[in-house]
């Protein structure tokens, strides 16, 4: 073998060994295209992950950080999973693991998403002492409400009920943003778990997509509260309603009126508090709408 050929041979062997794209595609890669939006994504936000499969590959399941998440087919023929991280999440890499069968062999492939930090607003207020802590009886009720809400939006269904783009429950101004942290006399409260939308008393509130009502409850703080399961671990929550027009367990269509806005619960004026929960974490409804909302 000539020196030049030996050199070429060594160089090729080096490429095969150390160039992951070459060695991977020759062995067992099933993921064709892979795109996440937004990328990176943010603490308290969501990410839509779209991917295509290579021929002969059968997708068995997708895990996000060790939790199985359902996927659905897009109009484009590509597959999609929706993932998110709550406000307490630490920045870093997040693994999306794909399990495949190809030529009778089982194997997995991992892709990583990057989660970045995001600053959320703070507000310092001086309030009367009784606003800071609840008497025991009230606290008991507040905690029972919280447990009921958490239970109503915790299951990750193996199917996705929502389809197409999400519509706004009410088209109006955002009065208070997600993640806002209030300090009462220097004591931090829980960050705002949703957004407040301006809505006069009696404004019809629509379901932003198809789903199943998992909770109708009169809560101490959030008043008349409705939770809708959109499948795949995605839930939306509506608070302070003056009237509820759905029943627990009922199926709702996109755009269906689920109730009327109001000022029930412990608030000062009528508005709609709108919350979104994804895979057991509260995320910013504005982020969901930015990525999956109807384009106006």
In whole angstroms, the minimum distance from the beta carbon of 196 to Zn ion comes to: 4
Residue number, 191 or 232, with CB nearest to Zn ion: 191
In whole angstroms, the minimum distance from the beta carbon of 270 to Zn ion comes to: 12
* Residues near 120 by beta carbon (within 8 Å), at least 6 away in sequence: 44, 87, 177, 178, 179, 180, 181, 191
In whole angstroms, the minimum distance from the beta carbon of 88 to Zn ion comes to: 19
In whole angstroms, the minimum distance from the beta carbon of 221 to Zn ion comes to: 10
Stretch that binds Zn ion, among 18-26, 112-120, 157-165, 266-274 (CB under 5 A): 266-274
According to the binding rule CB under 5 A, does residue 284 interact with Zn ion?
A: no
In whole angstroms, the minimum distance from the beta carbon of 235 to Zn ion comes to: 16
Which position's Cβ is nearest Zn ion?
273
Residue number, 249 or 269, with CB nearest to Zn ion: 269
Cα separation, 284 vs 99, in Å, equals 29
Residue number, 107 or 183, with CB nearest to Zn ion: 183
Q: 36 has which bridge partners?
A: 49
Residue number, 160 or 197, with CB nearest to Zn ion: 197
Q: In angstroms, how far is CA 295 from the centroid of its own chain?
A: 19
According to the binding rule CB under 5 A, does residue 240 interact with Zn ion?
A: no
Q: Which of 85, 196, 229, 287 binds Zn ion (CB under 5 A)?
A: 196
- Among 269, 244, 258, 173, residue whose Cα is nearest residue 210: 258
Tell me the per-residue interface mask from 105 to 124 with Zn ion, x by CB under 5 A, - otherwise: --------------------
Cα separation, 85 vs 245, in Å, equals 31
By CB under 5 A, the count of residues binding Zn ion is 2
Residue number, 71 or 178, with CB nearest to Zn ion: 178
- Among 296, 206, 197, 199, residue whose Cα is nearest residue 255: 206
According to the binding rule CB under 5 A, does residue 273 interact with Zn ion?
A: yes
Query: Using CA of residue 23, residue 114, residue 287, residue 146, what is the dihedral sign?
Result: positive
Residue number, 212 or 273, with CB nearest to Zn ion: 273
Cα separation, 191 vs 85, in Å, equals 15
CA distances from 253 to 156, 198, 250, 277, 285 (A): 20, 23, 10, 19, 19
Stretch that binds Zn ion, among 52-60, 195-203, 208-216, 248-256 (CB under 5 A): 195-203
Q: Which parts of the chain fold into alpha helices (H)?
A: 3-18, 20-26, 129-132, 136-152, 285-292
Residues that bind Zn ion (CB under 5 A): 196, 273
């Amino acid at each position: 073998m000539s020196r030049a050929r030996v050199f070429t041979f060594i160089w090729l062997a080096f490429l095969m060994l150390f160039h992951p794209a070459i060695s991977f595609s020759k062995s067992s890669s099933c993921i064709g295209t892979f795109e996440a939006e937004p990328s990176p994504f943010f603490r308290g936000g969501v990410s839509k992950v779209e991917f295509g499969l290579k021929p002969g590959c059968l997708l068995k399941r997708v895990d996000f950080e060790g939790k199985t998440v359902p996927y659905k087919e897009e109009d484009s023929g590509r597959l999609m999973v929706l993932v998110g991280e709550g406000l307490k999440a630490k920045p870093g890499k997040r693994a999306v693991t794909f399990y495949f069968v190809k030529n009778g062999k089982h194997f997995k492939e991992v892709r990583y998403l990057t989660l970045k930090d995001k600053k959320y607003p703070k507000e310092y207020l001086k309030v009367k002492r009784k606003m800071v802590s609840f008497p025991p009886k009230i606290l008991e009720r507040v905690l029972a409400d919280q447990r009921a809400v958490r239970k109503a939006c915790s299951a990750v269904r193996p199917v996705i009920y929502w389809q197409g783009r999400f519509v706004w429950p009410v088209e109006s101004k955002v009065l208070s943003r997600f993640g806002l942290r209030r300090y009462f006399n220097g004591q931090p409260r829980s960050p705002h778990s949703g957004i407040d939308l301006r809505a006069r008393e009696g404004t019809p509130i629509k379901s932003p997509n198809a789903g199943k009502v998992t909770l109708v409850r009169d809560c101490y703080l959030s008043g008349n509260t409705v939770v809708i399961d959109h499948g795949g671990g995605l839930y939306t929550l509506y608070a302070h309603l003056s009237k509820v027009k759905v029943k627990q367990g009922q199926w709702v269509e996109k755009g269906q009126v689920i109730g009327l806005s109001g000022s029930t619960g412990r608030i000062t004026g009528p508005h709609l508090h709108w919350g979104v929960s994804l895979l057991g974490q509260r995320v910013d409804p504005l982020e969901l709408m930015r990525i999956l909302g109807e384009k106006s």
